[in-house]
Amino acid sequence: MSEFMFHSNLNNQNNLIKNKLQLKSRGETVLQAREISYRYGTGSWIMEDVNLGVKPGEVVGLTGKSGAGKTTLAKIIAGYLKPNHGRVTIDGYLLQEKNAPHPVQLVWQHPEKVINPRWRMEKTLLEGGTYTDELLQDLEIKKDWLRRWPSELSGGELQRICLARALGASPGYLIADEMTTMLDAITQAQIWHTVLHMVEKKNIGVLAISHDNALLNRVSDRMVDFSMIRDKYETKK
């Protein structure tokens, strides 16, 4: 249900991608945002000719000033927005229409805003497709949470559910947009420990977006400054 912003995205998938996502990294950049330009309506360009890539099993940290367009780029890569120019590919293939979960799942900063308050947690979790006991254990999700309403869980508990929902869609790539910013340090560490375990276990590529450079330095294989990949912004109005 799009109003609560979980991306089952029935409009962005490609038959040819399904098996590609199971490939181990051969050194090439498999998920690529190529020459992405975007603006809202006829307003100023938020970004121009932006290029960014993520390999399977790689964690790329994306940093930059607030309002620079990092979340907009995340929405484009995950299929929520269509760029004015440019394309997003996986292993060279454009994402096309197919009734299946999007291969790039986005985990948002505020879990309470992306969960239907009228659904019990198990229904929310099944929105991603399926889940296993192992996934619940990895994310330290208690089974009795699944019978509860969102208002009965803490922010950290809700974020674990959102992460499980995203992983339940079996994505090849995960975008964590300030995923743990609102959480306490212990919960933040626990969630990132689980994500990094999943990266290694399932060869998932991760784009981690945060203002916390110390966190990005700890979890990322490499870091990208958004201002360095959108340098044409100042030249076009």
Q: What is the rounded distance in angstroms from the CA atom of residue 169 to the CA atom of residue 193?
A: 20
Does residue 219 lie in a domain region?
Answer: yes
Rg of the chain over Cα atoms, rounded to whole angstroms, equals 17
Cα 76 to the chain's mean position, in Å? 11
Does residue 193 lie in a domain region?
Answer: yes
Q: What is the rounded distance in angstroms from the CA atom of residue 38 to the CA atom of residue 188?
A: 32
Whether residue 62 contacts residue 209, with contact meaning beta carbons closer than 8 Å, is answered with yes
Does residue 196 lie in a domain region?
Answer: yes
Encoded amino acid at 142, one letter = K
Whether residue 102 contacts residue 9, with contact meaning beta carbons closer than 8 Å, is answered with yes
Whether residue 1 contacts residue 116, with contact meaning beta carbons closer than 8 Å, is answered with yes
Q: Across 39-194, where does the E strand assignment appear?
A: 47-54, 59-63, 85-90, 93-94, 104-107, 173-177
CATH of the domain at 168: 3.40.50.300
pLDDT for the residue 237: 39
Does residue 224 lie in a domain region?
Answer: yes
Does residue 68 lie in a domain region?
Answer: yes
Does residue 169 lie in a domain region?
Answer: yes
The two most distant CA atoms of the chain are separated, in Å, by 54
Tens digit of each residue's pLDDT, the chain (237 residues): 444 555 544 334 333 333 343 334 444 558 999 999 999 999 999 999 999 999 999 999 999 988 889 999 999 999 999 999 999 999 888 766 556 678 999 999 999 999 999 999 999 999 888 889 999 999 999 999 999 999 999 999 999 999 999 999 999 999 999 999 988 898 899 999 999 998 999 999 999 999 999 999 999 999 999 988 875 544 343
Does residue 29 lie in a domain region?
Answer: no
Quote the domain boundaries for residue 106: 56-80+96-236
Does residue 61 lie in a domain region?
Answer: yes
Tell me how many domains the chain contains: 1
pTM: 0.84
